[in-house]
Each structure stands twice: as structure tokens, then as C-alpha cells.
Structure 1
Amino acid sequence: MRLGGRLAAAIEVLEDIGRRHRPVADALKDWGLSHRFAGGGDRAAIGNIVYDGLRRKRSAGWLLGDDTPRAIGFGALLLEWSLTAQSLNGTLDGDKFAPPLLTSAELQAITERRLADAPPAVRADVPDWCEPLFAQVFGEAWIEEGAALATRPPLDIRVNTLQADRPKVLAELAETGAKAAHIAPYGIRIAPIDGDGRHPNVQAEPAFQKGWFEVQDEGSQIAAALAGAEAGMQVLDFCAGAGGKTLALSAAMDNRGQIFAHDSEKARLAPIFDRMRRSENRNVQIVTKPAELSPLSGHMDIVLVDAPCTGSGTWRRRPDAKWRLTQRQLDTRKNEQKTILEDASRYVKPGGLLVYITCSVFEEENGDQVTAFRGRNAGFAPVDHRALWNGRFPGHEAAMRIGASGGISLSPARSGTDGFYFCAMRRSS
């Protein structure tokens, strides 16, 4: 397929997403199933246009003076593919599978409009209702931070130190352009893709099958490292999900001590079994029933709560979620977080740590939750997060922010990671 056919297909997928209010991954999968003639390169390019369009939906629509799937698809190419309106029309001209060329009205809008003159939320590529949430957290830098969440993400990898070391994995992945991560000591990064390219399928690599590494955002790796799990400890991962942080904590413990992986929705735990077998994490116990948690009460050195959240810190990877999110959903997540923190806190022993993590950038889900929890639980106090960070990642203090509640925040513009929040509270009694 030429670019015209790929753009037409991307517009079709964007129309399907808007019409049926469905996740982008589902829409792309269905398109592929009904267009089996499309090769892997075509599907990757179509996906890139769709994802770029969703990341830059506000700015793409503003640039063309409309917010239709057509405007978003064309805008994505103009903003992210190093094309001009004239070169794009020239490329599409004569392609019978291409959508109609840019009209005179669209060309005029593109010529007359500059993103620098757009409203702040458009430049940040965030919904209008999220503007005060970003301003609350990032202050004058909120537009820059929102825009960073609308960029293409890298592919990050965590070396499994139970099986390999970073030089060994880097050597295996040399052809992918993989480099050592900037902050995480066991992290590896493959840079964001350009144009119509795609990241290598690293899970097809023999090194992955042998358990040498896991795919995990560098921010998630940093949060797990900050938790401070050590050999011999008793650790509870209270919202373990698919087990990414569980495996990272287990490796940090060198398979000594015990880590209990629990999730209230046990179906989320399903992938962890294959991951454990591949990576040889042997100190993990899967706990699915609440009754099995009772003996752990008051005995854990660390209880990690990777709380369900809006996922606003992951909008680079899941840009469709940005436009589906509502205030009501945010309020629902906040109530869940409150309940989960209360439930998890009972398992921390005196002197132990309650670690609260989200992949959100919103203060209402982060520092505000910690402040409210401490108001209800006087026996928990934040650790010195600046000292904790500098002890773990010396020389990288500029990559993080410490909020009024004492927690650490990461964001694409500042740390180059997904957006994460981390707060460790020690129990005194």
C-alpha cells in the first residue's frame, strides 16, 4: 500500500473508534482481520497514523479547523511525519486509494494557523476539563508536560538480574539499537520509532524466551527500585496485576525471602505464571483468596500498592484513554484508591513500609490520597524521599519532583519515563 491507502485506512479506523467508542487496539485488530491483504508494514504504518492522530488529536484538529477523523489523520501526518501540506497533496495525487486531497479551505487553515497561537489545552493536547488538573501539578510547565504525554514512547526493557546482566542483554539486542537506560540501573531503552517504522518484536528474541529480560517502562522500574525490597524480606504486592513489579521486586531480593502477589481481580494475575517460569523467580507466592491474606496481617516489611488509577501517565502508549476519561471515572478511581490503601495498610508491620504507586500525573490520585490517608492513620509518616532518591539514583535529582505530600513524581518531559507517582510511608505503630 502507498501512503494514500494507509491514510484512508487510518481514517476508517479513527471513524470506527469514534462511532463505537472502543479501544484503539480492538479497532486496529478488527481492521486487520477484515483486510488480510495488508502486510505487516502496512499495518504498522496505519497504526502509527492512528496513534499519532489520537496523541495529537487536539492540535491536529485545530490545525485543520475541524475535529473529524479525516482532519485528525491528515493532521497526524503534518505534525509527526515531517510532511508539508503541499508535499502531502503531491504524494496523494493520483493514488486511487487515497482520501480526497486537502481542500482549499483546509490548505488555508493550515497556512494561517500556528500552534503557538492555539489555546493552552490544544497545545498540551489534553481535554479542556483536565487543564486545571495539569496546572495544579505542573504549574507554568503544564503545557510542556501535556505535550510530552502526546509524543511517541520508547520501548523499555528491564534486565532480569537472576538470569543475566545489562551488558549481556545489550549485546543480544545490539541490532535493535538498544541502549542503557538513563536512570534505571537495569533498564534498556529502544528509542521511539520514526515515521512509519515499528519497534522490534523483542518478545520473539531468544533472550526473552530464556528469561533474560522483561518489557517494563523505566518509570515502573524506578518505582520498584525505590520500594527497597531486599533479600530475606517479607513483601506483599497488593495490586500485582500481571506481575511486572512483583518480578522486579523478586529479582531485587535475589529470590530470598518471600513476596506475595495478590490482586482483587485474580484474572489479572494470569500472565504471571508463565513470566515466573521463564524468569526463574522462585520466591513468589500467588495469593488469590482474601482469606489467604489474613495470616500476613501486621507482618510485612513492605506492602506495595500499585493502585488502579486513570492511567494519565501512560497516555503516550494509550492515547485513546485520554479522550474517554471523565470526571466521573476519576472520582471512581479515587474512591477505589482510598479503600485499597486502608485495606493494604493492615498488613504492614511496625517499622515496615506502605508504598503507594500510581501511573497517574493527577494530584487528586497521588499526593491528595496520601494526605487524606495520613489524616485517617496517624501511625504512618512519609520517608525522606529526597534522600531515598539520591541514595538510589545519585546525580539524577533533576529528573523528579517532590510534592508537598513528600512523594516522588516522574513525567515524560522531566524524566523521559511514563508518568508515575511514588510515596513510601513508614509505620511507627
Structure 2
Amino acid sequence: MTPAARAQAAIELLDTVIIAARDNGPAADTLIQRYFAARRYAGSKDRRAVRELVYAVIRACGERPAGGRAAMLLLAGQDADLAATFDGSPHGPAPIAADEPRAAAGVAPAWLTERLAASGLDAAEQGALAGRAPLDIRVNRLKGTPTQITEQIAAAEPIAGLPDALRLPAGTDLAPFAGLVEPQDAGSQVVTLAAAPQPGQQIVDLCAGAGGKTLALAAAMGEQGHILACDTDRGRLSRLSPRAAQAGVTIAETRLLNPGRELELLADWQGRADTVLIDAPCSGTGTWRRNPEARWRLTPGRIDRLVAMQARLLDLGAALVRPGGALVYVVCSLLDEEGADQAGAFASRQTGWTPAALSLPAGSPRGPGLRLTPASDGTDGFFVARFTAP
């Protein structure tokens, strides 16, 4: 592909990403894979170049653009070489007209930047959300040690305070280390520590998804005890069992829940769990470095619905904790309404539940918990709080 053809391919892909963000369609990664699956003639260098161009444009645009060409023109205005590809060649973009509309630069849509500012994130903190995330892994202590990785990948760097974590060069092939390592952001590993898992405990991972935190809990417990991994998403939860088998985890049981009937299906666990971990569905504002088009999917109404769901999950989780046990609340959001305010509201309405002091290798105090940010901690953004049951 010529540089002009790559630019045109990126414009076409951006059109599909913008529509998918508007209509809650597939993620950008999925759309890029589908695009090239139908274009086998594109070589690996072409695919990589187009992908990088698409994501560079997405990161540069604050508001959701009107279309792929307007989005690309924003970047072309900053890059003379890219602007030169708008040459009207057979497979390239048409020449740029003097009065053509261009997308607006920014970190996020204006209404979201206002909410981030209201949550205490200044321009530098917000700007870091548009960066690129590193490749962090958790070494599965059931299978080996970080030394086994550092001996083979010289550039692997330890992450302070996380003995099982390493930061690897972008693009590192993890296939040779299947079962020994799990891709997991350092921030995700930090907030999992708030559960303080111990061998022999009974733990509920209430929103387990595909099980990243379940596997981390099991490794920390040394395969002693029991973990109930729950979710309402059958597809995501079904991925946990094969991952657990590969990781050597046998103490995790999966349970599919029906939305609205969770407590009924968890009757056998009421008042029984030593710890309930709630990694609640959220806006994902802390993960924009990995999913930058997610900024264009959010609406005020969606956040309101998520906040209501989080409150319901907190009350549900509280019913499962034994007297004196712990409830750990996590969101990968930087908005106070999903983090500090949500946790504070729980403490206010649940009599006798007390916030526990957290001593974690990253994070700053925020309300009754800690908040991690890309700018301050070099991790994805998270809020975490731990409560002790009466």
C-alpha cells in the first residue's frame, strides 16, 4: 500500500469506528481486524501503519468527529507528510479543500472534561488519559517467578511494590509464556491487593468478567480456599474456566447470574464470604489509554445508569459478607460519582460498615478510598475502597 492508500484505509476505518461509537457497536480493535480480514493483500507493515494512524487520530479528537475524513484532517493539519497523502491518487484521499471542516482536538467531549475537572483532575491529569498504556503482566506464582521472564526478556522491568508484576516492551509476544503470565495493568494488580486474600478464605468475585482478578486472587491464596466468580455476561464468564485451567487454578467456581435476581441465585452465600470483591461496571474513564474511542460512547444518561447499578451491587455484595468480613469496591473510573461519592454513599446508608485504611503501593486518598491515575501513578485509572462489615 502507498502512503496515500494507507491514509484512505484509515479514513474508511475511522468512519466505521465513529458509527460504532455512536450506535454502541463493536470496538475499534474488532473493526480493524474485520477490515483487514477482508483485505488479505495488505501486508503486516501496512496493517500496523494503518492501525497506528487510526489510533493516533482517535486520541487527537476530543468530541466524536462527524466522519473519518474530518478526523484525519485534524491530524493532517499537524503533519505535513500526512497532508501530502491527500493527493487525489487512485487509492488515496481527495485533495484537501481550503474550507473543509476538521474535527476538534481535545481529551474528551466537553461535558466529560467538565466532570473530570469537578472530580479533581487538572489539565495534566486529563491529558495523560490520551496517552498510550504500557504492557504490564502479572507472573502467576502458581507456575513460576518473574525471574523466568527477565531471563528471557532483558528489557522487562519490575514494578515497584508489586513483586509479581513486570512492565514489558510494547508488542512483546506473550504466547510462549501462556499460563505463566497474565496481561494485567499494574493498577489492576494494585487494587486487587485491597482484597488482602489469604489461604483458606472464602471469596466472592461478584463481577468477575473473564476472571483476571479471580486468577490473581487464587494465586495469592496459594490455591487454598474457595473463590466464587460471578457475572451476568455468559460470554465473558465462559472465558474464565479455560484460563483457570491453563493457570493451574482449581479453587475458582463460576456462577452465571441473572440481572435483577442475583441475590436469589446467591442465597447459599449470604453472610458467608470472608471478602466480596466488586469490580463494578463503570464508565471506564480510567482506561482511555487502551480504549480511546470509549470517550465517544459515553452519555450522561449512561453514567447515571451505571451509578445506579453500582449502588445496587454494593448493597448486594454487603449481604454476602460474614460479620467482620470485608467488602472491596473497585471501578476503573476517575469520576467521583462512580468512585469516592459512590463509596461514601454506601457507608452512609449501610449502618455499621466502616472504611478501612488502605496501604497500597500506588494511589492517593480520595474520599473513603484511594484513586490511581495515569499521570500520578503510571497505571490505568482506578478508585478502590475497602469496608469492614459490622
TM-score computed with the length of structure 2 as normaliser:
0.90
Distance 1:422 1:77 in 2: 40
Residue 400 of structure 1, aligned match among 344, 356, 363: 363
Distance 1:190 1:94 in 2: 41
Counterparts of 1:18-417 in structure 2, within 5 Å, are 18-19=18-19, 21=23, 22=25, 23-58=27-62, 68-76=67-75, 84-85=79-80, 87-89=81-83, 96-102=90-96, 122-123=105-106, 125-139=107-121, 141=122, 143-174=123-154, 177-191=155-169, 199-202=171-174, 205-208=175-178, 211-288=179-256, 290=262, 293-385=266-358, 388-389=359-360, 393=361, 399-403=362-366, 405-417=367-379
Residues 42-51 or 21-30, more deviating: 21-30
Structure 1 unmatched ranges of 5 or more:
111-117, 193-198, 394-398
Asked if the contact 2:194–2:328 (Cα under 8 Å) also holds between the matched residues in 1, the reply is no
Asked if the contact 1:55–1:150 (Cα under 8 Å) also holds between the matched residues in 2, the reply is yes
Asked if the contact 1:52–1:152 (Cα under 8 Å) also holds between the matched residues in 2, the reply is no
**Structure 2 counterpart of 1:24, which letter?**
A
Which residue is equivalent to 1:9? 9
Instruction: Kindly state the Cα deviation for residue 91 of structure 1 after the two structures are TM-superposed.
Output: 6.4
Residues 263-272 or 13-22, more deviating: 13-22
Q: In structure 2, the residue corresponding to 1:365 is in which secondary structure?
A: coil
Asked if the contact 2:149–2:156 (Cα under 8 Å) also holds between the matched residues in 1, the reply is no
Q: Deviations over 1:122-147 (max 9, x none)?
A: 54x111111221112225x2x22221
Q: In structure 2, the residue corresponding to 1:378 is in which secondary structure?
A: coil
**Structure 2 counterpart of 1:253, which letter?**
M
Q: Deviations over 1:384-403 (max 9, x none)?
A: 12xx22xxx2xxxxx52211
Asked if the contact 1:58–1:67 (Cα under 8 Å) also holds between the matched residues in 2, the reply is no
Distance 1:373 1:24 in 2: 35
Instruction: Kindly state the Cα deviation for residue 427 of structure 1 after the two structures are TM-superposed.
Output: 0.9
Asked if the contact 2:7–2:85 (Cα under 8 Å) also holds between the matched residues in 1, the reply is no
Instruction: Kindly state the Cα deviation for residue 164 of structure 1 after the two structures are TM-superposed.
Output: 1.1
Which residue is equivalent to 1:424? 386
Distance 2:169 2:377 in 1: 14
Asked if the contact 1:243–1:261 (Cα under 8 Å) also holds between the matched residues in 2, the reply is yes
Aligned residues: 381
Distance 1:234 1:78 in 2: 57
**Structure 2 counterpart of 1:283, which letter?**
I
TM-score computed with the length of structure 1 as normaliser:
0.82
Two-structure CA RMSD over aligned residues (Å): 2.6
**Structure 2 counterpart of 1:402, which letter?**
P
Q: Structure 2 vs 1, CA of residues 47 and 382 (structure 1 numbering), >3 Å: closer, same or farther?
A: same
**Structure 2 counterpart of 1:401, which letter?**
S
Distance 1:262 1:165 in 2: 29
Residues 242-251 or 10-19, more deviating: 10-19
**Structure 2 counterpart of 1:69, which letter?**
G
Distance 2:227 2:173 in 1: 30
Distance 1:56 1:126 in 2: 9
Q: In structure 1, the residue corresponding to 2:249 is in which secondary structure?
A: coil
Structure 2 unmatched ranges of 5 or more:
none
Distance 1:52 1:92 in 2: 17
Percent identity between matched residues is 34
Q: Deviations over 1:92-135 (max 9, x none)?
A: 769653324555568xx99xxxxxxx9xxx54x11111122111
Asked if the contact 2:85–2:92 (Cα under 8 Å) also holds between the matched residues in 1, the reply is no
Q: Deviations over 1:133-180 (max 9, x none)?
A: 1112225x2x22221111122121111011111111222334xx4322
Higher helix share: 1
Q: Structure 2 vs 1, CA of residues 25 and 335 (structure 1 numbering), >3 Å: closer, same or farther?
A: same
**Structure 1 counterpart of 2:177, which letter?**
A
Instruction: Kindly state the Cα deviation for residue 354 of structure 1 after the two structures are TM-superposed.
Output: 0.3
Distance 1:97 1:169 in 2: 44
